Amino acid sequence: MTEEIKSDLIIRKLFTVSASGVEWSSDAKHNYDIVIVGGGIVGAATARELAIRNPKLKFAIIEKENQLAFHQSGHNSGVIHAGIYYKPGSLKAKLCVEGSSLAYKYLDQKKIAYKKVGKLIVAVNEEEVDRLKELYERGLQNGVKDMVLLEANDIKKYEPNCVGLKAIWSPHTGIVDWAQVNQSFGKDFESMGGKIYTNFKANKFELENDSNDQLVRVTDSTGNKVIKTRYVVTAAGLQADRIARLTAGHSNPKIVPFRGEYLLLKKEKSDLVRTNIYPVNMSMGWERRHCFITIALKYLGPGLNELYRSYRTAAQVELLRKYVPSLTVDDIEPNTYKAGIRAQALDENGNLVDDFVFDIGSEGIGERVLHVRNAPSPAATSSLAIAKMIADKAEQCFFK
């Protein structure tokens, strides 16, 4: 999302902090200790963490696009999640709660604009009330702070135009431009001597013997750019399974892209929704029917499995009116669809994988490549915590 959010909330400007990248030189020796494949938020956060821990080693990021945060990291909800929805004990639960705290500290340190607008998770029928209570207990188990279970009359204290039977209020949910955060991670990485090579689409990984060590030779899709590295960390998002195949990684999970689209409220209607509103079913993992999010106080969107409504604004608005009855089609800015593609992993049986997945191969080149195989939402919120976990795994696997 690159729209400006005005009023007393937050002004989000994409790429106000930019990692510059390095001009490719065919004469230079491109030899590194670890190369990170992928310049999204997980890749950039991981590169930054590795550089912080290992100042004497040489690191590089290779990114197939001409800038960081070009795909999921630059086209997402912009939400800083609190960690309510995820199964207790899962990596998503652990890393989201930890990552949220780390994210707010980082944003304050770097003076990156954000707003703690909070989140309402709203039950509109009795069946959803029971599930809402389960969700509240789940949040408590995950260590989410300061949640409040609201009765119907209390909902309007937080969102005057919202209705429901009960709701969860999460005050520590926020909004931020994750693309700007991604760029900031890249700038930190460069300041510590890391190199960022854009327009480098990794197409071949080969082992070759150096006089002192065995190296991984990484060649781009043109065949003209080559980087050599002792080890590789991949955070390739939509390309995760392709990169795994190129590096003798496991065949599963496989990545399937999901498209999500958003509508924009007219500027004069920006006060109609002032916090994030989520339905209960969206919050219970992948059982998502009638999904929507109001994002950054202005964006309204369908669930990933409701794509047929993408071109039917009236149908979308009708769903949203369950929560904001005063909303009308006339409140929507015409022709303002904004889209994002989300990478979601499927297991060998075609089931959705509902947790983060990290793995490493067992022999040959596979032993030198650590993969982030599945990092869907809340990966942006969790990115600093994910980076610490990957750095720990890299130290265990690579620097024994």
Residue 165 belongs to domain with CATH number:
3.30.9.10
- From the CB of residue 45, how many other CB atoms can be counted at a distance below 10 Å? 35
Give me the pLDDT at residue 262, please.
Answer: 73
Give me the pLDDT at residue 91, please.
Answer: 95
Tell me how far apart the alpha carbons of residues 45 and 190 are, in angstroms, rounded to a whole number.
12
- Answer yes or no: is 361 within a domain: no
Give me the pLDDT at residue 342, please.
Answer: 75
- Answer yes or no: is 250 within a domain: no
- Answer yes or no: is 226 within a domain: no
Q: What distance lies between CA 150 and its chain's CA centroid?
A: 29
Quote the crossing angle between the two packed helices 126-142 and 91-110, to the nearest 10°: 70
Tell me how far apart the alpha carbons of residues 96 and 113 are, in angstroms, rounded to a whole number.
20
Domain ranges, residue 301: 114-173+259-343
Which residue numbers in the chain have pLDDT < 50? 1-17, 283-310
C-alpha distances (whole Å) from 10 to each of 114, 183, 377 are 6, 18, 22
Q: Does residue 253 have a cis bond before it (omega within 30 degrees)?
A: yes
Calculate the dihedral angle through the C-alpha atoms of 38, 94, 352, 339, rounding to the nearest 10 degrees.
Answer: -50
Give me the pLDDT at residue 18, please.
Answer: 52
Give me the pLDDT at residue 306, please.
Answer: 44
Cβ-based neighbours of 308, under 8 Å, separated by 6 or more:
none
Q: Does residue 378 have a cis bond before it (omega within 30 degrees)?
A: yes
- From the CB of residue 251, how many other CB atoms can be counted at a distance below 10 Å? 9
Give me the pLDDT at residue 275, please.
Answer: 92
Give me the pLDDT at residue 14, please.
Answer: 28
Give me the pLDDT at residue 159, please.
Answer: 95
Inter-residue contact 233 to 34 (CB < 8 Å): yes
Give me the pLDDT at residue 376, please.
Answer: 83
Task: Provide the CB-side half-sphere exposure for 274 (13 A, CA).
Answer: 12
Domain count, the chain: 1
